[in-house]
Structure 1
Amino acid sequence: MTTDRLPVVFVHGLWLHAESWEPWVELFRESGYEPRAPGWPGDSATADETRANPERVAGFGIDDVVEHYAEIVRGLDRPPVLVGHSFGGLIVQRLLGENLGAAAVAIDPAPIKGVMYLPPSSLRVASIALRNPANRKRAVALDRAQFRYGFGNALTEQESDELYERCATPSPGRPLFEAAFANFTRSSPAKVDVRNATRGPLLLTLGGKDHTVAPAIVRTTARLYRKSSASTELRQYPDRGHSLTIDSGWRVVADDVLAWLKARGF
């Protein structure tokens, strides 16, 4: 279906489902865009179904996810705006670097190749999968306390627990292994073309209290783009954690993304 509205593709990260983007999709549609939030390969239609069938998401890696979304993007009538959170932020950087998007927003994105230092809090979250090599081929789920540390640490315990019940899903462990060993792998799927001068603009965000993607990771990511003349910007939310796309303050981030897009003619 052809539309005059600019398409927007939302990409979720590990331990969340595409349903987590529903408020964003509604807001962006009301703001004149044509948004969609496809799930990762293997995701079931709902978060509940994904929780009930974790084996369906097991084994998929970064390249699988990139190609899954690339196929969706190529089926659109024009390059979309790409908005990704966490590992979704890595995915949209890959797609933008391959000129498959008009612009991209990477919200607290997982580390790309070239990010050498992973702070202790990020290693603690990643270790949920990395501590067992068999998890590379498995689906990995967070328990309530792990979700509280990785996502809800800047929230009240009540809000964190409510988000856990509503949003948390199992995810493939393989992307965490691929990201962890990216700097030791020549053809790592976590490698992004940070030198591409013809790509669209990129907005990176960081949450100052994010345990999963600690601020140092995003700041380093921004520095990796310095050799490209394409626009790269960094926006900081000092009091926000990794839940910033799904918690009660999501609208602040979403409105900032909309304003950034409008200011650049999208």
Structure 2
Amino acid sequence: MSAPTIPVIFIHGLWLHATSWSSWTELFTTAGYDATAPGWPGDSESVELSRKDPESIADHGIDDVVAHYTEIINALDVKPILIGHSFGGMIAEKLLGQNLARAAIAIDAAQIKGVLPLPLSALRSTLPVFKNPANKHRAVSLTLDQFTYAFGNAIPAQEAAELYERWTIPAPGKPLFEAAAANFSPHSPAKVDTGNNTRGPLLLIAGGKDHTVPETVTKATLKQYRDSTAITDFQDFPDRGHSLTIDHGWREVADACLTWLTRNDLQTR
């Protein structure tokens, strides 16, 4: 009997709909993986429906999202590979630290507890949420200008506008407030078991021009794993911003992920 196909679960971050992974799921399916991109709790099936129902998206925190994906993983026959972007990267790290995945790739992942750098560009990118404390329990949308700064600063303005129209949805403010308070809370939901020696391999990817999660944040995250003997790798894309999973250069990043999986004997078989 042949081994079951390895599942790959893609986890989106704030302000992008799960269907923004469609090119990735097609590529990974062609490569032989069982690739899916389930949305966060409260997300509707499409971008349009999600925009019409922000109340369903609102007030979901990090623990809610982790529990949601844990339930999805527990329904599988084998442990999946997790690939997450932004807050989805943080979720992937948490689930890997809990030994719920065979490997994880965290792309421009949101800062976890213990990461101290807070660059000004990151503060500006998240200002639409933090400017009003009540946004902790709301879903917040970005304007085109805000999206262009936070996601599309490294691509042409026209492309940023097209991505904004195609993929953006309201996002819960709660995860951002939780991450911001992480280093002052001993039981923060942004805490990841970075010392786990038995977890699967982890790849951290950084975009060198990312305003939302600058490369300094990803490198500081890498340092948090220094006491673990498990595989923790780092790869940077110096000319890429936070849109690197959805813009015209997505394939370069996706191919790097496939190469890393093969190098760590995580290819389909």
TM-score interval, normalised by the smaller of the two chains: over 0.9
Alignment of 1:107-256 (within 5 A): 107-256=107-256
Tell me the residue number matched to 2:34. Answer: 34
SS of corresponding position for 2:206: strand
- Whether 1:77 and 2:77 are equivalent positions in the alignment is yes
Matched residues in 1 for 2:111 and 2:28: separation?
27
Matched residues in 2 for 1:228 and 1:29: separation?
31
Tell me the residue number matched to 2:86. Answer: 86
CA RMSD of aligned residues (A): 0.9
CA gap of 1:57–1:3, structure 2 versus 1, over 3 A, is farther
SS of corresponding position for 1:203: strand
Matched residues in 1 for 2:36 and 2:76: separation?
11
Alignment of 1:39-50 (within 5 A): 39-50=39-50
Consecutive aligned runs of 4 or more in structure 1 exceeding 4 Å deviation: none
State the shift of 1:3 in Å: 7.5
State the shift of 1:230 in Å: 0.3
Aligned residues: 265
Tell me the residue number matched to 1:14. Answer: 14
Matched residues in 2 for 1:61 and 1:162: separation?
29
Matched residues in 1 for 2:153 and 2:240: separation?
9
State the shift of 1:212 in Å: 0.4
Matched residues in 2 for 1:92 and 1:168: separation?
21
Matched residues in 2 for 1:59 and 1:80: separation?
27
State the shift of 1:4 in Å: 2.1
Which whole-Å deviations, capped at 9, do the CAs of 1:188-235 have from their partners, x for residues lacking one? 000000000000000000000000001110000001100000000000
Matched residues in 2 for 1:123 and 1:262: separation?
36
Matched residues in 1 for 2:59 and 2:121: separation?
25
Matched residues in 2 for 1:21 and 1:173: separation?
22
Which whole-Å deviations, capped at 9, do the CAs of 1:94-147 have from their partners, x for residues lacking one? 000000000000000000000112100001112211111100000011000000
SS of corresponding position for 1:229: coil
Q: Which runs of 5+ in 2 are unaligned?
A: none
The amino acid across from 1:226 in the alignment is R
Q: Which runs of 5+ in 1 are unaligned?
A: none
Matched residues in 1 for 2:234 and 2:94: separation?
17
SS of corresponding position for 1:240: coil
Matched residues in 2 for 1:3 and 1:174: separation?
40
In the superposition, the TM-score normalised over structure 2's length comes to 0.97
Matched residues in 2 for 1:234 and 1:264: separation?
14
Matched residues in 1 for 2:127 and 2:221: separation?
21
Matched residues in 1 for 2:245 and 2:49: separation?
22
SS of corresponding position for 1:84: strand
Matched residues in 1 for 2:264 and 2:248: separation?
27
Tell me the residue number matched to 1:95. Answer: 95
State the shift of 1:78 in Å: 0.6
The amino acid across from 1:198 in the alignment is T
The amino acid across from 1:66 in the alignment is V
SS of corresponding position for 1:99: coil
Tell me the residue number matched to 1:59. Answer: 59
The amino acid across from 1:36 in the alignment is T
